[in-house]
């Protein structure tokens, strides 16, 4: 079974709309929608915005559906790479926290205390497959690094800082948290994000203008990925 997690309804409703044999299951504060997509077993969860929502949803997905072997973080993000624009897609080969900071304790910025690595590696085969699918859709695709933090990045200064410190191509508020949960729970993971804004001073306005279109791109890509998995 494939577990698909998005923060907002606009990021998950389109996927649910393509599913058959739907069953809705309220568990704790979350609703899980399981069913079949192109004949494959999937479960979708709208987790809510931010790292705690995302990590909790990922853990509960695996607890409620133990046969989930792949977790996918879907939705929209801000672009950080100078060539990434609205409507493009970034598939995360790696994810990292841009706001985890234990440097006062001599630990590299972004590294979770207790771990011996800073970047969470995604499932390579899934990343390759998704990147190819997106390119075949005629959408510009970047395979790179997604940086996560509890912050809507809306300034050039902050965008450039995250790009400089972590080499990130996009920023969001959930992917690394889901990646960490997947790591701790022994599940495969990757993130794909359609770009809704460029993390600059116009980010808020751009987000609301592009979020629906970006989510539609994400939905179509996920559908094709599951179909060809």
- Domains of the chain plus CATH, in order, are 2-227 (3.40.50.1580)
Phi, psi for 68 (deg, rounded to 5): -65, 125
Confirm whether 99 is a catalytic residue.
no
d(CA 25, CA 3) in angstroms, rounded, equals: 14
Q: In the numeric block, which tokens belong to residue 52?
A: 């705690």
Instruction: Using alpha carbons, select from 120, 117, 139 the residue that is nearest to residue 190.
Output: 120
d(CA 168, CA 160) in angstroms, rounded, equals: 10
At residue 195's C-alpha, the angle toward residues 186 and 175, to 5°, is 20
Confirm whether 128 is a catalytic residue.
no
Per-residue pLDDT, 205 = 47
Instruction: Catalytic residue, from 11, 88, 169, 200: name it.
Output: 11
The residues, any chain, with a CB within 8 Å of residue 139's CB and separated by 6 or more, are: 87, 88, 89, 217, 221
d(CA 139, CA 89) in angstroms, rounded, equals: 7
> Computed over its alpha carbons, how large is the radius of gyration of the chain?
16
Per-residue pLDDT, 201 = 46
Run of H or E residues at 227: helix 203-227
Instruction: Catalytic residue, from 88, 172, 174, 197: name it.
Output: 197
Residue 161 has pLDDT above 90, yes or no: yes
Q: How far is CA 221 from CA 81, 138, 139, 216, in A?
A: 21, 11, 10, 9
Cβ neighbours, 10 Å, residue 25: 13
Phi, psi for 37 (deg, rounded to 5): -130, 115
Per-residue pLDDT, 217 = 86
- How far from each other are the two terminal CA atoms of the chain, in whole angstroms? 11
The residues, any chain, with a CB within 8 Å of residue 160's CB and separated by 6 or more, are: none
Residue 142 — very low, low, confident or very high, per pLDDT cuts 50/70/90? very high
- Contact assessment for residue 144 and residue 80, using Cβ atoms and an 8 Å cutoff: no
Mean per-residue pLDDT for 178-184?
Answer: 98
Residue 81 — very low, low, confident or very high, per pLDDT cuts 50/70/90? confident
Mean pLDDT (the chain) is 92
- Contact assessment for residue 221 and residue 192, using Cβ atoms and an 8 Å cutoff: yes
d(CA 143, CA 141) in angstroms, rounded, equals: 7
Residue 77 has pLDDT above 80, yes or no: yes
The residues, any chain, with a CB within 8 Å of residue 55's CB and separated by 6 or more, are: 177, 178, 180, 181
């Amino acid at each position: 079974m494939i577990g698909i997690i998005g923060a907002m309804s606009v990021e998950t409703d389109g996927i649910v709309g393509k599913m058959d044999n739907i069953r809705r299951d309220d568990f704790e504060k979350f609703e899980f929608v399981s069913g079949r997509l192109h004949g494959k077993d999937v479960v979708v969860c709208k987790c809510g915005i931010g790292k705690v929502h995302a990590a909790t949803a990922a853990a509960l997905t695996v607890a409620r559906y133990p046969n989930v072997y792949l977790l996918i973080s879907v939705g929209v993000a801000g672009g950080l790479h100078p060539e990434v624009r609205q409507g493009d897609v970034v598939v995360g080969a790696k994810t990292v926290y841009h706001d985890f900071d234990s440097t006062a304790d001599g630990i590299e910025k972004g590294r979770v205390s207790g771990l011996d690595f800073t970047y969470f590696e995604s499932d390579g085969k899934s990343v390759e497959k998704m990147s190819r699918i997106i390119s075949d859709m005629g959408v510009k695709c970047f395979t790179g690094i997604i940086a996560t933090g509890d912050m809507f990045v809306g300034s050039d200064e902050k965008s450039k800082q995250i790009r400089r410190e972590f080499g990130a191509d996009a920023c969001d508020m959930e992917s690394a948290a889901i990646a960490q949960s997947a790591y701790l729970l022994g599940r495969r993971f990757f993130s794909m994000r359609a770009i809704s804004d460029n993390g600059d001073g116009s980010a808020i306005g751009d987000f609301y203008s592009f979020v629906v279109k970006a989510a539609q791109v994400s939905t179509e890509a996920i559908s094709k990925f599951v179909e060809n998995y």
